[in-house]
Amino acid sequence: MTRSLVLALLLATPGFAADPAAELKALLAVGKEGGGNAEAAAAWKRLVAAGPDALVPTLTAFDNATPAAANWLRSAVSAIADAESLAKRPLPADALKAFVKDDQRMPAARRIAYELYAAAVPAEASDLLAGLVNDPEPELRRDAIAERLSRAAKASPEALKAAQNELIGFARDRDQLESLTQALAKSGVKFNKTTHLNYVTQWLVAGPFENADGAGYAKAYPPEAAVDPKAEYAGKLGPVTWKPLQSGDEYGTINLNAELGKVKSAIVYAFAAVESPAATPIEVRATSPNALQVFVNGTKVYDRSAYHNGSWADAHVAKATLKAGRNEVLVKVCQDDQKPAWAQGWEFAVRLCDATGGRVPLKQLLTTPAGESRVVPLGDLKPAPAPETK
């Protein structure tokens, strides 16, 4: 059989896609509410039928994919890999490795490529993984740190301690940070998680404002227009002024019930100014059980009107861009009127970080209600109270 005949037969095969560009274009074109799904479904079949040759182009297409389109791509990759696994055919390990190492590609696609590579050549994959401790993809980063720690633990106690010292700076996940912090503490090494995670620990707080029947959530009280530290507002319980509060919690929590008294159907605004050395994209990551709105430099970047359905770390994430110099962050923390014990929390914590959850070089600009200004490091905690003596 001649090569041209083979090629002709391949091209005649309905599922064959010599160049998957048309198929990928259809997958990338899926829109809202299922728009483009019919065309994408036909393209998905042809793409998967193309087999392993379509893997890298499909992973590369993540660069231009919406989250919905990325799932069309992801499922196609898993279908191709699944078929090859069932047929006991090897995946293109070298191409997958090169893709993992290409940090210009989308992190999520690189993670998929890594897993396929690890399935193909598990013995070599751990070496690749060990070099990814500063990877933008959170699971690669996490697993790379774990791999390096595992290797160090097998080497010697000294190697493990050195690795813990080195790697904690790359850690982002709270459980991994806690584990490393505790391990280092046993060696007498203190690690400051608050500054590492860039929690804003000092705020000017104004409130409570009225939130009867939840109506205050949509009402723009004066602080949303501008923050004047000397201003006095009409509050829910009387005149309201800005009050400085500083967290004593290493994860930056401000407990409003403790600070302002337990008030239901209420709203508090928390204000902080930070100084950035340059314009930079950031993520505002908040932890709170309350309905929340976040404004950066006067622009609302996040709102969530749900009350008391969890207070998971970093559950609220907003993207924003800081300008060089002074930037203002305003958080609206809303409490409802529910009576069960699980609905009493009124608190928040906010950190300003990069896309990996890591530190960005910011300083806090403190302005007191008296008008005094000073620059302090971000993440300063309120000193713990001195132990009582008898």
Q: Considering the complex, what minimum distance in angstroms separates the CB of residue 282 from other proteins?
A: 19
**Minimum CB distance to other proteins smaller for 97 or for 142:** 142
Binding site for other proteins (CB under 8 A): 30, 32-35, 37-38, 40-41, 44-45, 48, 66-68, 70-72, 74-79, 82, 108, 138-139, 142, 173, 304-307, 309-310, 312, 315
Distance (Å, rounded) from C-alpha 193 to C-alpha 88? 46
**Minimum CB distance to other proteins smaller for 290 or for 367:** 290
Q: Are 304 and 217 in contact (CB under 8 A)?
A: no
b/e per residue 39-66 (b: at least 16 CB within 10 A):
ebeebbbbbbbbbbbbbbbbbbbbeebe
Q: Considering the complex, what minimum distance in angstroms separates the CB of residue 66 from other proteins?
A: 7
Q: Are 350 and 299 in contact (CB under 8 A)?
A: no
**Minimum CB distance to other proteins smaller for 66 or for 368:** 66
Bridge partner list, 172:
none
* DSSP one-letter string for 173-207: SHHHHHHHHHHHHHTT----HHHHTTEE-EEEEEE
Q: Considering the complex, what minimum distance in angstroms separates the CB of residue 29 from other proteins?
A: 13
Q: Considering the complex, what minimum distance in angstroms separates the CB of residue 375 from other proteins?
A: 34
Q: Considering the complex, what minimum distance in angstroms separates the CB of residue 173 from other proteins?
A: 6
Sign of the alpha-carbon torsion through 185, 190, 194, 196 = negative
Q: Name the one residue in this structure whose structure tokens are 């860039």.
A: 198
Q: Considering the complex, what minimum distance in angstroms separates the CB of residue 82 from other proteins?
A: 6
Q: Considering the complex, what minimum distance in angstroms separates the CB of residue 315 from other proteins?
A: 4
Q: Which long-range contacts (CB under 8 A, 24 or more apart) does 148-152 make?
A: none
Amino acid at 20: P
Nearest residue to 311 (alpha-carbon basis) of 343, 359, 336, 338: 343
**Minimum CB distance to other proteins smaller for 342 or for 385:** 342
**Minimum CB distance to other proteins smaller for 41 or for 162:** 41
How far is C-alpha 229 from the chain's CA centre?
Answer: 31
Cα radius of gyration (the chain): 26
**Minimum CB distance to other proteins smaller for 287 or for 364:** 287
Distance (Å, rounded) from C-alpha 208 to C-alpha 266? 5
Nearest residue to 331 (alpha-carbon basis) of 302, 362, 368: 302
Distance (Å, rounded) from C-alpha 76 to C-alpha 55? 9
SS3 242: coil
**Minimum CB distance to other proteins smaller for 56 or for 366:** 56
**Minimum CB distance to other proteins smaller for 192 or for 309:** 309
Q: Considering the complex, what minimum distance in angstroms separates the CB of residue 273 from other proteins?
A: 29
